[in-house]
Amino acid sequence: MTEATEIGGAPVGSGAAFADLHCHTRASFDSLAAPEAVVRAAATRGLTHLAITDHDRIDGALRARDLAPPGLAVIVGEEVKTAEGDLICLFLERPIRPGMSAAETVAAAREQGGLVGIPHPFDRFRNSLLDEAGPAGPAGLVDWVEAFNARVIGRSGNERAAAFARDHGLPGVAVSDAHSVLEVAVAYSILSGDPSTPAGLLAALPSARLVRHRASYLVRGVTPLAKVIQRLRGNRRIEAVR
C-alpha cells in the first residue's frame, strides 16, 4: 500500500476507482446521515465506489444502492459485532446477525460470496477485533485490514494496523468510517480495475493507494448526540444473541 494522489489531483492512471469501504447512514444507531445525502456527497466528492456498512443491518445500504446517482457504485455491507470484535462484511444479500464468533461471521459472509475486513484495528476506544483476539488470530480469515481509519484517535492505532497488514501479508485500505455526511470520502483508497464485484475488489486490494485525512473532532463530536437522538427514536444497537 502506498500514499496516493487525491481526487482531483494529478492523474492516477486510467481505470482508477476511488473507493471508501466503510461508511454509515442513519440506519446505524450512532448516525443521523440520510442515505440519499450520503450517496450524493460521495458522488460530488469524486468517489466511484462506496460501501455502506451500518451496524448489524443492511437496510440503509440497500436504500443507498437504490438512490445512488450514475457513476457511483454502492456496495452493500455491514459492520458486524462479533464475540471477539467488529468485522466489515461486503457484498451481502442479507444481514448477518451479531454475536457469533469471528470465524462464524466470516463463514456467514463467505456463504453469500462476500468479502471481509477488519475495521479500526487496535482502537482502544472501540470494539476492535485485534485488541481482543490477539495479533495472529484473525489474519488468515480476512481479505484486508483498515490500515488507516479516519476516526481512530491518535496515531498509534493506525500505525499498528498498517504494521499488522504488512507483517501478515494483508492488503491495507484507508476509510472514512463516516458517521456524518461531512466525513464521507475524507479518507479513501484508489484501486485499479473494477471493484464492483467481490472478485474485482479482491484483485484490486493488493495495489491499493491510500489517501489519509481526518474530519475535525468537532464534526466527529456529533456522534454522541446522534446516539441520544436515535435512542429516543427507538433505533438502538441490535442486541447480539449467541
* 81-133 pLDDT, tens digit each: 999 899 999 999 999 999 999 999 999 999 999 999 999 988 888 877 775 44
State how far the alpha carbon of 144 is from the alpha carbons of 42, 119, 122, 206, in Å. Answer: 22, 9, 15, 9
Tell me the mean pLDDT in the region 30-38.
98
For cell 456496495, what's the residue? 75
Buried b (16+ CB within 10 A) or exposed e, 102-123: beebbebbeebebbbbbbbbbb
11 pLDDT above the threshold of 90: no
* Closest to 129 measured CA to CA, from 92, 166, 79, 176: 79
Phi-psi category of residue 234: left, alpha or beta, with phi > 0 → left and psi -120 to 50 → alpha:
left
Averaging pLDDT over each range in 8-22, 178-192, 214-228, which range is the top one? 178-192
Residue 59, Cβ density class (10 Å: 0-12 exposed, 13-18 middle, ≥19 buried): middle
Q: What secondary structure letter does DSSP report for 178?
A: B
Residue spans of alpha helices (H) in 59-124: 59-67, 102-111
Higher pLDDT, 134 or 43: 43
With cut-offs at 50, 70 and 90, classify the pLDDT of residue 8. Answer: very low
**Chain-centre distance of CA 219, in angstroms?**
18
pLDDT of 1 above 70: no
Q: Using CB atoms within 10 Å of the CB of residue 221, give its burial: 0 to 12 exposed, 13 to 18 middle, 19+ buried.
A: exposed
CA distance 31 to 41: 15
Strand 2-3, strand 188-191: pairing: unpaired
pLDDT of residue 20: 98
Pairing mode, strands 172-175 and 144-149 = parallel
Across the range 67-86, mean pLDDT stands at 96
Question: What band does 136 get if pLDDT is binned at 50, 70 and 90?
Answer: low
Question: Residue 94: is it exposed, middle or buried by C-beta count within 10 angstroms (0-12/13-18/19+)?
Answer: exposed
Query: Whole-structure pTM over 0.85, yes or no?
Result: yes
**4 pLDDT more than 70:** no
Q: Mean pLDDT in the chain? A: 90
Domains and CATH numbers, the chain: 16-233 (3.20.20.140)
